[in-house]
Amino acid sequence: MVTIEEISDCWNQIGAEGDRSCDQLKQMTHCHNCPVFAKSGSLLLEREVPSEYIQEWTNTIAERGSALSLRSTEEMLSLILFRLGNEQFAISVRSLQEVIRLARIHTLPHRSNSLFLGLTSIRGEILLCASLREFLNLEPAASSGREQMLVVGTTQRKWVFPVDEVYGIHRYPLREIQDPPVVLLKTNSAYTQGIVNWNDQKVNYLNAELLIDTLDRRLL
């Protein structure tokens, strides 16, 4: 097997890329049309690969493979981030059915209050609607015009929560979920299972299943 030193590169010496003194150049017009150039190209493809080159690429592929393996095996958590009043919250997308525009809420005589808002119809399905802001004892904020509703729960058991703003779905490695601080408000602490960072802000990661269970017991 030839080495790269044994392969002629006459095109760089006397050919189109050199001093153009090759007596075949005028006839061939360009070195690309010359059989010597074609043969050299074939020899380049068949040449012996230097051991240092093989080792370099072996190391590179191994490093990339390790990084990809780490990313693929690391457990991730997908959260929907939203705002209530002046605070940011998140719940797992596994508990999220959908995000919808504000819909009309129908109050129920002698039942509706600041926590249980009433009923709302989502594509013909009548769902219970509650105020998470009231449930978590949060101060209200001025309307931003970006209010939406979260449909949270399971197929058989859903609640609708109006929120002041939705920031979308974000993914976090489980190792980045922080423990709730001790100073967290007592009302929030029972339902906060972790803290995540978003835009240099602390976001309360809520336990949606516990929220639903508590609302069911308290209001139904």
Q: Are residues 47 and 95 in the same domain?
A: no
Confidence (pLDDT) at 30: 75
- Statement: residue 110 has pLDDT above 80: yes
Tokens 């790269």: give the residue: 4
Confidence (pLDDT) at 8: 67
- Distance between CA atoms of residues 216 and 191, nearest Å: 15
Q: Are residues 177 and 82 in the same domain?
A: yes
Q: Are residues 109 and 193 in the same domain?
A: yes
Confidence (pLDDT) at 201: 94
Q: Are residues 198 and 98 in the same domain?
A: yes
Q: Tell me, what CATH number does 111's domain have? A: 2.40.50.180
- pLDDT tens for 121-165 read 998 999 999 999 999 989 888 888 999 999 999 888 999 999 999
Segment 202-206 shows an average pLDDT of: 95
The β-bridge relationship of strands 201-206 and 125-130 is unpaired
- Distance between CA atoms of residues 81 and 112, nearest Å: 27
Give me the DSSP letters along 103-134. Answer: ---B--TTT--SSEEEEEEETTEEEEEE-HHH
Out of 24, 47, 73, a domain closes at: 73
> Residues 2, 46: contact at Cβ < 8 Å?
yes
Q: Are residues 156 and 184 in the same domain?
A: yes
Q: What is the pTM of this model?
A: 0.66
Q: Are residues 51 and 101 in the same domain?
A: no
Domain count, the chain: 2
Range of the domain at 162: 76-219
Give Dmax over CA atoms of the chain in angstroms.
104
User: Both tokens of residue 47?
Assistant: 């040449």
Residues 6+ apart with CB under 8 A from 201: 88
The band of 220, judged by pLDDT with boundaries at 50, 70 and 90, is confident
Segment 98-123 shows an average pLDDT of: 93
Out of 18, 43, 73, a domain closes at: 73
- pLDDT tens for 39-92 read 766 766 666 666 776 777 677 776 666 555 555 567 899 999 999 999 999 999
Q: Are residues 107 and 214 in the same domain?
A: yes
Out of 52, 73, 94, a domain closes at: 73
Q: What ranges make up the beta strands (E) of the chain?
A: 76-84, 87-92, 96-101, 116-122, 125-130, 148-153, 158-163, 165-173, 192-198, 201-206
Confidence (pLDDT) at 133: 94
